[in-house]
């Protein structure tokens, strides 16, 4: 039997139809694997949240043949700026000097639900019945040289590999590695989208903005859905009181306005005009030394949930998914060996990114940002072209489609 014939016969079971599960499913199906994805929600959830895809994530979308589809939902920024929390005064931090930088700093700005739709359509185009909704997974195991995804009712699905793409609270991870206690970072997050037509004209500028202050920061950027434009925002604020660890937990407007009391009105207007508000606590877990056990492995937040301070969560997940597919494709007759190869290729990079992202919290939130006299020297140092290159180039230059495995 040839490798390609073995590949076509390999059956991969995926827990979770989020961005990781769907990216993985699309890549596997395109490579000739059989795939079944089990999702606990009754349908794809419409969550009002934006995200950005950086160059390392875009390479995966391009390899999946989804570059044009992604561009169709993109609202690209003309500039990326850092802004002072009180006045809104800004400095450009876009790295346009190709000679100085060894990486592409282009951002693709999309709604999470729109990206999820594109990936879902890519999956069902190849296998219409690949995604099974309303099925809750409780764990996974390897039995007799086969992988099993276990369901809440006690039944299971069996295949050659099981991949947990079931998020920070992953039941697959817990079943193979035990509990992973979460530690509160001391910050809460707010997220929402505000319709552009409800906002002042300055909000319509095509900018990716990061507003920085002594105890909070806010990232804002334009996104679109069916031709309607919005401003997506993600805000993190220091807080001794922690919230539930769920990025789809509802928040209340008075609490948001209290958290950002004294901030520029442009930021308050985003909260006031948001379609909905989500609020949750930001937690971290100790990094895993391995992601695979037998014929079971993990992708994305299930194995390296991270703070959003570098904007790398979804991009790391896409990298995981594509590298895993390449590992399985390389040695289809040795699944457990392929998973060890996957661990070796991904864990160090993911854990480094996780650590570097958390380090950004003390850069975003600094007492030097309390007033403009100390803020601008601080901003010019921390967001200088050299500082931005050092922070991002090693992340953005990575290519999951060609990296050695």
Q: CB–CB of 325/191 below 8 Å?
A: no
Q: Which residues of 48-84 are buried (b: 16+ CB within 10 A; e: fewer)?
A: bbbbbbbbbbbbbbebbebeebbeebbbebeebbbbb
Percentage of residues in the chain having pLDDT higher than 90: 87
Q: pLDDT: is 110 or 245 the higher one? A: 110
* Pair 200, 266: CB distance under 8 Å: yes
As a whole number, mean pLDDT of residues 176-204 equals 94
Q: What is the pLDDT of residues 115-164, one digit of tens each?
A: 999 999 999 999 999 999 999 999 999 999 999 999 999 999 999 999 99
Per-residue confidence (pLDDT) for residue 241, from 0 to 100: 80
pTM for the complete prediction? Answer: 0.94
For the chain, domains (ranges, CATH) are 3-45+114-181+285-362 (3.50.50.60)
Residue 167, pLDDT > 60, answer: yes
Band (6; pLDDT cuts 50, 70, 90): low
> ∠266-270-272 over CA atoms, to 5°?
110
Residue 95 pLDDT: 54
Provide mean pLDDT across the span 348-366.
96
- Using 50, 70 and 90 to split pLDDT, how confident is the model at 221? very high
Residues 6+ apart with CB under 8 A from 160: 10, 11, 12, 146, 147, 295, 335
Q: Which of 25, 98, 2 is nearest to 55 (CA)?
A: 98
Residue 102: what pLDDT?
72
Per-residue pLDDT at 284 exceeds 80: yes
The dihedral region occupied by 87, where left means phi > 0, alpha psi between -120 and 50, and beta the remainder, is alpha
Confidence band, pLDDT 50/70/90 cuts, at residue 250: confident
Which pLDDT does position 103 carry in this prediction? 85
- Whether the pLDDT of residue 4 is over 60: the answer is no
Extract the tokens encoding 15: 């827990």
Residue 248: per-residue pLDDT = 61
Q: How does pLDDT run across 286-323, given as a tens digit for each residue?
A: 999 999 999 999 999 999 999 999 999 999 999 999 99
Instruction: Give backbone dihedrals phi and psi of 76, rounded to 5 degrees, phi first.
Output: -70, 140
Each residue of 52-109: pLDDT tens digit? 999 999 999 999 999 999 999 999 988 999 999 999 999 998 755 545 567 899 999 9
pLDDT in tens, 268-278: 999 999 998 99
Do 117 and 111 meet the contact criterion of CB atoms below 8 Å apart? no
Are 221 and 214 within 8 A, CB to CB? no
Instruction: Please state, rounded to an integer, the average pLDDT across all residues of the chain.
Output: 93
> What mean pLDDT comes out for the span 203-210?
92
List the structure tokens of 229: 């434009």
Give the model's pLDDT for residue 1: 43
């Amino acid at each position: 039997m040839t490798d390609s014939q073995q590949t076509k016969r390999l059956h991969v079971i995926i827990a979770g139809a989020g961005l990781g599960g769907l990216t993985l499913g699309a890549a596997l199906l395109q490579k000739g694997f059989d795939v079944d994805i089990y999702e606990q929600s009754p349908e794809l959830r419409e969550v009002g949240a934006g995200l950005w895809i950086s160059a390392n994530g875009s390479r995966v979308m391009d390899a999946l043949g989804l570059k044009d589809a992604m561009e169709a939902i993109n609202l690209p920024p003309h500039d990326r700026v850092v802004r002072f929390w009180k006045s809104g005064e800004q400095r450009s931090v876009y790295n346009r000097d190709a000679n100085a930088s060894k990486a592409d700093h282009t951002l693709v700005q999309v709604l999470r639900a729109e990206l999820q739709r594109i990936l879902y359509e890519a999956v069902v185009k190849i296998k219409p019945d690949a995604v099974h909704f309303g099925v809750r997974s409780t764990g996974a195991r390897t039995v007799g040289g086969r992988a099993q995804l276990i369901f809440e009712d006690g039944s299971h699905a069996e295949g050659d590999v099981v991949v947990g793409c079931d998020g920070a609270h992953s039941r697959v991870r817990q079943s193979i590695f035990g509990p992973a206690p979460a530690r509160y970072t001391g910050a809460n997050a707010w997220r929402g989208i505000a319709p552009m037509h409800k906002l002042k004209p300055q909000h319509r500028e095509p900018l990716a903005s990061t507003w920085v202050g002594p105890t909070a920061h806010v990232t804002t950027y334009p996104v679109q859905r069916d031709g309607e434009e919005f401003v997506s925002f993600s805000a993190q604020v220091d807080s001794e009181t922690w919230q539930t660890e769920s990025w789809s937990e509802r928040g209340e407007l008075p609490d948001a306005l209290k958290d950002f009391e004294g901030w520029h009105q442009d930021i308050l207007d985003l909260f006031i005009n948001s379609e909905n508000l989500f609020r949750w606590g930001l937690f971290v877990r100790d990094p895993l030394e391995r992601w695979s056990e037998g014929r079971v492995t993990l992708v994305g937040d299930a194995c390296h949930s991270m703070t959003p301070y570098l904007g790398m969560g979804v991009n790391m997940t896409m990298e995981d998914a594509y590298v895993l597919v390449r590992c399985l494709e390389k040695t289809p007759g040795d699944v457990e060996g392929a998973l060890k190869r996957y661990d070796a290729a991904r864990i160090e990079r993911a854990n480094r990114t996780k650590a570097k992202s958390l380090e950004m919290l003390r850069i975003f939130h600094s007492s030097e940002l309390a007033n403009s006299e100390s803020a601008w020297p601080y901003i010019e140092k921390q967001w200088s072209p050299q500082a931005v290159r050092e922070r991002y180039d090693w992340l953005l230059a990575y290519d999951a489609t060609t990296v050695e495995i």
